[in-house]
Structure 1
Amino acid sequence: MHSIYEKDLDLNLLRVFVVVAEAGSVTEAASRLYLTQPAVSAALRRLTSTVGAPLFVRAGRGLALTARGQRLFASARPHLQALVEAAVSPGTFDPRTSERTVRLGLSDANETWLLPPLLRVLTEEAPRMKLIVVPVQFRTIAEALASSAVDLAVTVADELPADTRRLVLYTGSFVCLFDPRHARLGKSLTMERYLAHEHVIVSYNADLRGIVEDMLGVQRRVRVSVPTFHSIGALVEGSALLATIPSAVAGEITSLRPNLRTLPLPSPLALGGAPMELLWRTTVEDDEAIRFIRELVVRVAKTVLRAE
C-alpha cells in the first residue's frame, strides 16, 4: 500500500469540501472560509479530479452530495474536527490520573538523597505516574539528553548544547567521612593525618584518581577505587579508610550508619563543589508531565537540603 505522503492531495481541499457540504452552497462556503467563490469552485474541481468521481450535483439553487460525496463527507468531517482540536486545544494534564512514564537521569551522588523523598511525594500527588531512573554523570549527560534517553536529569555538567535548560539546585561542599572507632582523626583534621590514612575514592575513569588528585594535584594513598558512591558507607564502616565525598551524600550515609562521622577537609584541600543542576531540553519545555516532575524535583531538593 502506498504511503499517504505519496498521494498528491492537498488536505486543504478536504476542508473546503466539508464546508461546502455543510453549507450546501459555494457562495455560503466562500463566506465562511473567507475565500472568493472562484477559489472555492477551483478547489472543488481539483478535489473531484483527484477523487475521480463527482462529489456534488446541482439541487435547485444549491448543491447536494452524491453517494461518493456522502461517503467522503462522513469520513473526512470527524477527522478534520479532530485535527483542528489537536492543533488549537491545549493539552490536559492531571497528575492525579496521569499514567505517564518519565525518564529521570540521576548521578549516583543524587540517587540516595533525592529519589526516596521524590517517590514519596510522587505517590501522594501522582499515584499512577512512573519513573525510569537512568544513571548519568558529567561525561554522559549531553548524549543522554540529545538522544532522549532521559527527559530530564540531575547531575554536574560542563558545557552542554545551547538548547539545554539548566537550573542550579545546590552547590555543595566536600567532607571527609570516617569511622572514629578505627580512624583517629581528632577534632580537627590536619593535612598530615589526612594523607597518612588510606582512602576509598570514586572514579568514573576506573583508575586511582579522584577529585583531590584531579582538582588539587595531591596524591593520596588510595586503597580502593569504586565506580559509584553506593558502597562508600559499607567500605568506610569498620575500617580506617577515609572517603572524601559531597556533603549531601555524607549526610545520607551517616543517617543510615550512625557510627560514622564527618569532618571538614584540611584547609589546603578546601573543595568548592560544582553546581548540581537540573537539566532538560527545550523540546520538552512545554510537556506538562515533565514540567510537573521538574517542579517536584525542585521542591523536594529544597526541602531535603534545608533540613540538612
Structure 2
Amino acid sequence: MNDIYGRNLDLNLLRVFVVVAEAGSVTAAAERLYLTQPAVSAALRRLASTVGAPLFVRAGRGLALTTRGERLLASARPHLGALVEATLSPVTFDPKTSERTVRLGLSDVTEAWLLPPLLRILAQEAPRMRLVVLPVQFRTVVEALNGSAVDLAVTVADELPAGTRRLELFNGGFVCLFDPRHARVGKRLTLERYLEHEHIIVSYNGDLRGVIEDHFDVQRRVRVSVPSFQSIGALVEGGALLATVPGMVARDILRLRPHLRTTPVPLPLQGTPLELLWRGAVEDDEAIRFIRERVVQVTKDLWHDA
C-alpha cells in the first residue's frame, strides 16, 4: 500500500478519464464534470503521461479508446463505482445478523445489575453481537475512551475532554448497609453512632479514605478498605461493620442477602450521577448506538422497579 500511495497518480484523473470515455468527447465530459474543456484535456494528458501510453485517439468529431485505454476503463470503472457507492450509501445495520463486538467499560457498581438484563436483551434482539467488558472508574474512564480501549462506558465521571458525549442514567444516592443481628444502629442512625461503628470502605486509591472522607471533614473507624463493591455483602454479613454504598448496589446485595438492612446515611451526602459515556467520533456508529439504547432501556426498567 505504501508503494501505491507513493506513486504520483491523482485518482481524480481516473474519474475524468471514465467520464470522457463514456461521453465520447472532451466537450460533453466537461459539461458533466462542471469543468472547462482545457482542464479536462490537461487531465487526460497527465493521465496518459503517468500511464506511459496514449488512452484516446481522434475518431471523427469525438474520441475513441486505444487498446490501453479500453483495458484501463475495464479496470477503473467498477472500482470507481464501488468507491462512490461506499461513500454515498448509508451503512446498514441489522442487529439480527450483526456480528459486531462492542467494548463496554463498566464500573464495579454497574456490572452486577446492568450486564445480566443487557445480555438477555442481546440474546433476543442481536444474537450474534458480542460484548467485551472492561473495568473502568472515574479515574480511568478518560484514558479508556480516548485510547479506544472501550467504545462506551457506564460509570461516574468528573471533567471529560471536549468531544465526549455523556448521558445521565440515574442518581440513586447512598445508604448505610448493615447486619441487624450484630450491628446496633437504633431506629434512626445518628452521626454519633455512625462514627462509633467500624466501617468497610471502598477505595480506588488503596487507602483509608472513602466517599465520606472525601466529602466531609470526618474520619470513620475503618476496619477494612477494599478496591470494589463486589465483596461488600459478604463482609457485612455476620458482623457489626457498616458499609456506605450506592443505593443500587445495596439493592442487589439485599436480593442475595435479604436479612441485611439499609438505613439513611446521617450526613447530607449527595449522590453522584451514573453516566453513559462515549466519544463523539462513534456517535453515528449504529452498532454502538444500538448498545447505548439498550443500556438506557435496562436502566429505566430497573430504576422504575427500584
Query: TM-score if structure 2 supplies the norm length?
Result: 0.96
Structure 1 residue 181, shift from structure 2 partner: 1.6
C-alpha separation between the residues in 1 aligned to 2:86 and 2:2? 26
C-alpha separation between the residues in 1 aligned to 2:70 and 2:2? 24
Aligned to 2:275: 277
Runs ≥4 residues deviating over 6 A: none
User: What letter matches 2:212 in structure 1?
Assistant: V
User: Is the partner of 2:145 in helix, strand or coil?
Assistant: helix
User: Is the partner of 1:188 in helix, strand or coil?
Assistant: coil
Aligned to 1:263: 263
User: Is the partner of 1:274 in helix, strand or coil?
Assistant: coil
Task: Provide, for residues 115-143 of structure 1, a one-character-per-residue CA deviation record: whole Å limited to 9, x for no partner.
Answer: 11111112211111111111111111111
Aligned to 1:218: 218
Structure 1 residue 108, shift from structure 2 partner: 0.9
Runs of 5+ unmatched residues, structure 2: none
Aligned to 1:303: 301
C-alpha separation between the residues in 1 aligned to 2:90 and 2:3? 29
C-alpha separation between the residues in 2 aligned to 1:218 and 1:72? 79
Aligned to 2:204: 204
Structure 1 residue 2, shift from structure 2 partner: 5.1
Structure 1 residue 184, shift from structure 2 partner: 2.4
User: Is the partner of 1:217 in helix, strand or coil?
Assistant: coil
Runs of 5+ unmatched residues, structure 1: none
Aligned to 1:121: 121
1:185 touches 1:193 (CA, 8 Å); kept in 2?
yes
C-alpha separation between the residues in 1 aligned to 2:254 and 2:135? 23
The residue correspondences of 1:86-97 to structure 2 (distance < 5 A) are 86-97=86-97
Task: Provide, for residues 21-51 of structure 1, a one-character-per-residue CA deviation record: whole Å limited to 9, x for no partner.
Answer: 2222223222222223222221111100011
C-alpha separation between the residues in 1 aligned to 2:71 and 2:206? 67
Structure 1 residue 270, shift from structure 2 partner: 2.6
Structure 1 residue 58, shift from structure 2 partner: 2.7
User: Is the partner of 1:172 in helix, strand or coil?
Assistant: coil
User: What letter matches 2:294 in structure 1?
Assistant: L
Query: TM-score if structure 1 supplies the norm length?
Result: 0.95
C-alpha separation between the residues in 2 aligned to 1:39 and 1:219? 78
C-alpha separation between the residues in 2 aligned to 1:180 and 1:202? 21
Structure 1 residue 153, shift from structure 2 partner: 0.9
User: What letter matches 1:147 in structure 2?
Assistant: G
**Quick one: structure 1 residues 255 and 226, their matched pair in 2 at CA, closer, same or farther if it must change by over 3 Å?**
same
Aligned to 1:35: 35
C-alpha separation between the residues in 2 aligned to 1:191 and 1:206? 25
Aligned to 1:66: 66
1:172 touches 1:272 (CA, 8 Å); kept in 2?
no
| Percent identity of equivalent pairs | 76
User: What letter matches 1:174 in structure 2?
Assistant: F
Structure 1 residue 211, shift from structure 2 partner: 0.8
Aligned to 2:53: 53
User: What letter matches 1:118 in structure 2?
Assistant: L
Structure 1 residue 169, shift from structure 2 partner: 0.9
The residue correspondences of 1:172-187 to structure 2 (distance < 5 A) are 172-187=172-187
The answer to whether 1:290 aligns with 2:295 is no
C-alpha RMSD of matched pairs (Å): 1.4
The answer to whether 1:107 aligns with 2:107 is yes
User: What letter matches 1:34 in structure 2?
Assistant: Y
**Quick one: structure 1 residues 124 and 2, their matched pair in 2 at CA, closer, same or farther if it must change by over 3 Å?**
closer
**Quick one: structure 1 residues 275 and 81, their matched pair in 2 at CA, closer, same or farther if it must change by over 3 Å?**
same
